[in-house]
């Protein structure tokens, strides 16, 4: 006997990246920050007392919201705290889309979006990204024609790292008649010289929701804390109606607040990641991989053309992924259109990246037998 709703019975759940138990694995598969959270976060954790857990936490994480509002120069009601970015995505869908409604999703992108759509019984309209992973010029028209209630764009894009300008996003926001989610999970790794800023769009448009997470830039993926930024009218139904009453816990509120206040220290790690991203990009390109310009903490590497001359299984991205795995290095292989000939590699520490490059070079060497 099955008690699930029919659409739950038929759907496939989200497949998380592998989280191996062995500590010595070089883990470059789930875009975690290779550096630990800052000293201020460690101190805030040390200062948490079991006595503090006796009471319920601040329902809306007010201290965090004040800190984030000050940082973004917005009001506290322009910020919604959530249990990771994933909870915000679920909240957006359950708040703004009925079962049977359509959601527009840039394709390919974060594979959780269609899973959440399935849970809510929504249809999806896939909007194909350009050759360079940019949003098509008529993104908003395509989403409107599909009757989409919500559109999802990741910027910088995952899994390529391509960055759309805020002017392009502004055009989409202006022309799209539903809610535009700009998922900025990887925003902290953008080169500051590019002066990218999509938060300003939340001041201009009441249909823009920007997703920020503490998981990547602030090295707190294990904490589960993220926040949304948007117009008060957009956030109000989620803040006061659909959110779980205590959706973020005391410890995560405390550490996330400390992390955001100490962002100057976190920024030193972002700069280190950017420097290593450049080194990896150069080394992979020299090996013949094609890598677009990534503004994220990962690189999407397309298999070298000359690898076509290599023997059998070594020819393919899947084989390379498996060979690295057998050497204790985990990267990400996606068995889906446009990505099967590519590998997504999270930028690690200098030492991890050196080991990755060494292992890749060995795997690409033509066999001598
Ligand atoms: C594009 C994108 N959006 C959102 C998230 C959600 O991150 P979290 O739930 O850890 O905040 C991720 C996580 O990998 C992601 O890749």
51-71 per-position pLDDT tens digit: 999 999 999 999 999 999 999
The predicted model gives 111-120 an average pLDDT of: 96
pLDDT computed for residue 2 by the predictor: 87
Whether ligand 1 lies within 6 angstroms of the CB of 210 is answered as: no
> Any idea what the Cα angle at residue 144 is, between residues 93 and 110, rounded to 5°?
45
How far does CA 6 lie from the centroid of its chain?
29
pLDDT of residue 314: 43
pLDDT band at 316, cuts 50/70/90?
confident
pLDDT of residue 346: 98
40 pLDDT band (50/70/90 cuts)? very high
Closest-CA residue to 159 (of 279, 296, 277, 34):
296
Instruction: Give residue 15's pLDDT.
Output: 86
Atom number in ligand 1 closest to CA 225 = 11
The predicted model scores a pTM of 0.96
Long-range residue pairs from 364-369, CB within 8 A, at least 24 positions apart, any chain: 364/287, 364/288, 364/304, 364/307, 364/310, 364/314, 364/320, 366/309, 366/310, 366/311, 367/310, 367/311, 367/314
Contact 231, 210 (CB under 8 A): no
Report whether residue 185 contacts ligand 1, using a CB cutoff of 6 Å.
yes
Question: Average pLDDT of 297-325?
Answer: 75
The CA 86 to ligand 1 mean position distance, Å, reads 6
Picking from 136-140, 145-149, 226-230, 305-309, which range would have the lowest pLDDT averaged per residue?
305-309
- Is residue 55 helix, strand or coil? coil
Percent of the chain at pLDDT > 90 equals 89
pLDDT in the model for residue 17: 81
Residue nearest to atom 6 of ligand 1 (CA): 85
Does the beta carbon of 215 sit less than 6 angstroms from any atom of ligand 1? Answer: yes
Using CA atoms, how far apart are residues 51 and 53, in angstroms rounded to an integer? Answer: 5
1 CA to middle of ligand 1, Å?
34
How would residue 306 be classed by pLDDT, with cut points 50, 70 and 90?
A: low
81 lines ligand 1 (CB under 6 A): no
Any atom of ligand 1 within 6 Å of the Cβ of 219:
no
pLDDT at 347 over 80: yes
Query: Residue 288 class from Cβ within 10 Å (0-12 exposed, 13-18 middle, 19+ buried)?
Result: middle
Q: What is the mean pLDDT of residues 108-131?
A: 96
Q: How confident is the model at residue 313 (pLDDT cuts 50, 70, 90)?
A: very low
Model pLDDT for residues 200-244, shown as the tens digit of each residue:
999 999 999 999 999 999 999 999 999 999 999 999 999 999 999
156: how many CB neighbours lie within 10 A of its CB? 24
Residue 223 contacts residue 42 (beta carbons within 8 Å):
no
Residue 111 in this model has a pLDDT that exceeds 50: yes
Q: Is the CB of 161 under 6 A from ligand 1?
A: no
- Residue of the CA atom closest to atom 15 of ligand 1: 185
Q: What share of the chain is helix, strand, coil (3-state, %, to 5)?
A: 45, 15, 40
22 — pLDDT class (breaks 50, 70, 90): confident
- Ligand 1 atom closest to the Cα of residue 31 is 14
Taking the C-alpha atoms of residue 32 and residue 216, their distance in angstroms, rounded to an integer, is: 6
Ligand 1 pocket test, candidate residues 30, 32, 80, 85, most atoms within 8 A of CB: 85
Query: Which residues 6+ apart lie within 8 Å of 222 measured at CB?
Result: none
d(CA 53, ligand 1 centre) in Å = 27
Q: Is 184 in the pocket of ligand 1 (CB under 6 A)?
A: no
pLDDT surpasses 50 at 82: yes
Taking CA atoms, 204 is separated from 199, 230, 347, in Å, by 9, 10, 34
Confidence label for 1 from pLDDT (cuts 50, 70 and 90): confident
Compute the distance from residue 333 Cα to the ligand 1 centre, in Å.
17
């Amino acid at each position: 006997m099955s008690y699930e709703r029919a659409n739950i019975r038929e759907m496939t759940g989200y497949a998380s990246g592998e989280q191996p138990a062995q500590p010595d694995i070089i883990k470059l598969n789930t875009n975690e920050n290779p550096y630990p959270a800052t000293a201020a976060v460690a101190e805030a954790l040390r200062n948490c007392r079991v006595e503090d857990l006796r009471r319920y936490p601040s329902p809306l994480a007010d201290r965090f919201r004040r800190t984030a509002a000050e940082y973004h120069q917005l009001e506290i009601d322009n910020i919604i705290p959530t249990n990771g970015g994933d909870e915000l995505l679920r909240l957006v869908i359950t708040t703004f889309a009925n079962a049977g409604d359509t959601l527009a999703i840039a394709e390919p992108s974060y594979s959780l979006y269609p899973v959440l759509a399935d849970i809510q019984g929504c249809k999806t309209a896939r909007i194909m990204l350009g050759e360079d992973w940019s949003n098509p010029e008529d993104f908003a028209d395509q989403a409107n024609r599909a009757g989409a209630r919500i559109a999802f764009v990741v910027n910088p894009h995952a899994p390529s790292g391509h960055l759309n300008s805020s002017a392009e996003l502004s055009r989409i926001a202006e022309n799209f008649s539903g809610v535009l989610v700009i998922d900025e999970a990887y925003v902290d790794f953008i080169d500051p010289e590019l002066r990218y800023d999509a938060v300003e769009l939340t001041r201009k448009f009441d249909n823009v929701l920007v997703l920020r997470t503490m998981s990547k830039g602030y090295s707190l993926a294990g904490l589960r804390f993220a926040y949304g930024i948007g117009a008060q009218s957009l956030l109000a139904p989620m803040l006061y109606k659909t959110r779980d009453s205590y959706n973020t816990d005391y410890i995560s509120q405390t550490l996330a607040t400390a992390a955001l206040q100490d962002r100057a220290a976190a920024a030193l790690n972002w700069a280190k990641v950017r420097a290593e991203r450049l080194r990896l990009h150069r080394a992979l390109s020299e090996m013949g991989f094609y890598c677009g310009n990534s503004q994220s903490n990962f690189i999407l590497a397309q298999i070298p053309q000359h690898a076509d001359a290599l023997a059998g299984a070594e020819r393919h991205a899947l084989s390379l992924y498996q060979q690295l795995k057998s050497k204790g290095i985990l990267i990400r292989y996606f068995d889906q259109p446009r990505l099967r000939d590519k590998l997504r590699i999270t930028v690690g520490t200098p030492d991890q990246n050196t080991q990755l490059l060494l292992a890749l070079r060995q795997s690409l060497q033509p066999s001598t037998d």
